[in-house]
Structure formats: structure tokens, C-alpha cells
Amino acid sequence: MMNKFQQSLSNEKGQAIFEMILFIPFLLFLYTIYYSAGNSISGSINQQKAVRGYYYISLKNNSYVNSMPEVVHLRDLGLKKIGFNAFGWSDHFEGSKKEAYGTCFKFSSLLQNGSNEDCNSGEREEVGSSHFVRIFTYYGVCGPTYIADSKGQFYIHPSVQADGKTSCENRTSN
């Protein structure tokens, strides 16, 4: 009797099917994660290409980066020093403050808990947790620094241009 029991335990018929049934859900889970992450990375790369391409097309060979109508508009907003120009990508804008929303990719998995989370909602079920990957893309360059004189006329200050220590973030101010 004991010998028959040991023989049935050493019989490996059906082991491959059992292992396949055991590991297929795990492999599908990994596939959904890789698929979601891959789509969001691909979307980010494509957004970056589109923003850069549109940025350089809009410059139209203007090495001064900011056009005079843009400089006048920024002066009317109260800026006295202008030297940075950037474009950003947003899926859409909402609210009175025109809040930008990035492109959204759902991070799907087999273990979802029936979440009611919406991509465009700022509400999260848990702090620091989300079922979505949001992509934001910005691209810009430092151009010449325009400085307004007391009459509101802009000029390019040569010492600011020649100063290699001045960074972009310090070049746009009130």
C-alpha cells in the first residue's frame, strides 16, 4: 500500500498543466503592468517630440526667441526682465485659473479594487496612490534677456548676455 502511494506521488503527469494554471495569472499581471508603463513612456516620448517640433517651428528662425508682440504683452503684464521662453503640453484646461491637465494613462492591473477614481479628478482614494499615470511635458530655451527701461522700452542688455553666470530661472522677473 505504501509503495503504491509513493509511486502515485512520483508520477509527474499533469504537473506542466498545473504549473501553467498557477503561473498564467502572474504572467498576465506582469504583462498588464508592462503594457501600461510602456504606453505611458511612449506617450511621453511622443509628446516631447511634438512640443519640441512645434516650439522650433514657431520660432521661425528667430534667434531672439521672443517676438516683439510677446515681449510687449509680457511688459503689459508687469514684467521688467524677460529671458526665457517655453511651451508646454496639456490635454485640456479646467476652472477659472485655467488649470492644466496632463495626458492620462490608466495603469491597469488584474488586482483592481473597483476604484471610482477619475483621471480628471484631483481626488484620490489613498494619499500617494493612483490608478493613473499623468504625463506633463514642457520645453524651453533661454533667449536674450530683454530689460525694460524707465519708459517701458525693452533693450537687450549686453552685460547680461555676456555673463555666463546668469541662469534661466533668474532671468524672468518683475
6 inside domain? no
Domain that holds residue 23: 14-114+127-170
pTM: 0.62
4 inside domain? no
Q: What does the pLDDT read at residue 169? A: 44
DSSP-assigned states of every residue in 74-130: HHHTT-SEEEEEEEEE-SEEETTTTEEE-EEEE---TT-------TT----SSTT--
148 inside domain? yes
119 inside domain? no
Could you read off the pLDDT of 92-120 as tens digits, one per residue?
887 777 777 788 887 766 555 566 777 77
Q: How many domains does the chain have?
A: 1
Q: What does the pLDDT read at residue 161? A: 54
Q: Which residue numbers in the chain have pLDDT < 70? A: 1-2, 5-10, 108-115, 121-128, 157-174
Q: What does the pLDDT read at residue 67? A: 77
